Amino acid sequence: MKKSILLFSAYLSFALAGVISDAPKVTDRETPKRGSNIVASYHTSIKYAKKSVVNISAKRVIKSANLNPFNGNPLGDEFFNFFFRDMVPKERVEKSLGSGVIISKDGYIVTNSHVVENGKDIVVTLPNERKEYKAKLIGSDPKSDIAVIKIDRENLNYVKFAKSSDIKVGDIVFAIGNPFGIGETVTAGIVSALNRSGMGINEYENFIQTDASINPGNSGGALVDSRGYLIGINSAILSKSGGNNGIGFAIPSSLVKSVVESLLKNGSVKRAYLGVSIDNISSNLSSYYGRSSGAIILNVEKDSSAEKGGLKRGDIIVSIDGDEVKDASDLKNRVGLHSPKDVVKVEFVRGKKLYSTEVRLGGQGEIEISRSEAKNYEGLQLREINAKDRLSSSLKGVIVSSVLIDSKAMEVGIKKGDVIIQIGNSEIGSLEEFREAWSREKERLIYINRGGSIYLTLL
């Protein structure tokens, strides 16, 4: 049995290795010579990458809110439906446009999660082709805004991943995408800054900032270096007007690669959890500790990985596995790149002295009922409550992380963020209890905690 598991693991590693190809390591940088009759151009460098960027359109069916004030009252429902039923649209269709990047010759494509989020029909158009390909959603990670889709097509051009750790501020970069749906477009710029976080765009942020124009429709497209290798996935712009102000953000290739591999392997991303509340070192504390970098621990959760590893309130975490921790956001990103049960070496400062410990990371309570499994539960994707979700120590149940489009759960009004606390006569405290109660009940009365108010529906 062990031999079979090892052979399967080896096969899986080999299969995943064939999906993503690594670019050669950067060894030097060149500047065009003066006085030459040669025009400086990157046409040849990026022409292959251009062939790897696709247009993506996704149709979303948006359900209208229930405007019936008599909901649940038979006489009131009859009155409302008789007079107002045809005046209130039940749903509307929205279409999103974005870009994607082919990462394998057999049709795997990476894009932004928000481009395909809740997409009912995802359609891909290849460069210089009119034929449309229906795409299958392989997995999505809204916290990093990365998703993987796949089309049935072979022998495609695909990009190679450069190491984002090789990128320097001032490097020339190109943003390739499909802005406004007008067709493939390439814009040029430089790397303006690295490791941008705290922008409030994604939960996990470590952006490359660039002044290459990134416009609507560029989302999910490629940011490539002067060799044509992928250094990031274009994600967002900073603009009050919606126009381009020369401040664009791309998700670095290292984070993209980690998320993509997890989505291909598991269909979801299960991140590690340290179990601490953290903050940056303020200016007045930096003089006391003699340092401004690192993440200071404000609280340690009981029975967490941090507590078991000996970490305490007031410790400053300065490195993970030998890599410097710059601030609280950096620590969150570094821990988030790991999987539950990974063992990491943590260096920390306590009382102005440097210590180290090994910590076995825990799980974060990520989605446990996946998109594919949600079909068995009338469209409900669920996860268990973690410490961040608790409004009080007594909050129990399971959290609705997503509701599938056109599902029965959506029809009866269950929403993302609802907490299912009881099914029939069975109180719910975990996913295991949810599954058991679900299998027992034929007509399922679902009790929901929504912002402290309790609702009841039949599912």
Q: For tokens 């395909």, what's the residue?
A: 116
Looking at 148-292, list the stretches that DSSP marks H as alpha helix, in order from N- to C-terminal side: 253-266, 283-289
Q: Annotate 2-51 with DSSP letters as a single string.
A: HHHHHHHHHHHHHHHHTTS-BPPPP-----PPTT-SSPP--HHHHHHHHT
Closest CA to 297 of 340, 248, 337, 335: 335
Q: How far is CA 433 from CA 201, 426, 428, 441, in A?
A: 35, 8, 6, 12
Q: Please tell me the distance from the alpha carbon of residue 293 to that of residue 313, in angstroms, as a whole number.
A: 17
Contact between 201 and 235 under an 8 Å Cβ cutoff? The reply is yes
Q: Indicate which residue of 52, 114, 171, 329 is catalytic.
A: 114
Residue owning tokens 């509307």: 92
Using alpha carbons only, how large is the chain's radius of gyration in Å?
25
The token pair at 431 is 């996913």
CA separation for the pair 24, 21 (Å, rounded): 10
Token output for 50? 């251009």
Amino acid in the structure at residue 242: G
On whether the CB atoms of residues 424 and 398 are closer than 8 A, the answer is: no
Whether 287 is a known active-site residue: answer: no
Pick the catalytic residue: 145, 211, 315, 327? 145
The alpha carbon of 68 is separated from its chain's Cα centroid by a whole number of angstroms, namely: 35
233 beta partners: 222, 251
C-alpha span between 402 and 145 (Å, rounded): 15
> Could you tell me if 374 and 414 are in contact, meaning their C-beta atoms sit under 8 angstroms apart?
no
How far, in Å, CA of 190 to CA of 169, rounded? 7
Neighbours of 231 (CB within 10 A): 28
- Which of 99, 219, 268, 407 is an active site residue? 219
Nearest to 429 by CA among 406, 384, 397, 383: 397
- Provide the 8-state DSSP code for 307: H
Annotated catalytic residue 219? yes
Backbone torsions φ then ψ of 324, nearest 5 degrees: -60, 140
**In the beta sheet, which residues pair with residue 100?**
54
Q: Give catalytic residues, as residue numbers.
A: 114, 145, 219
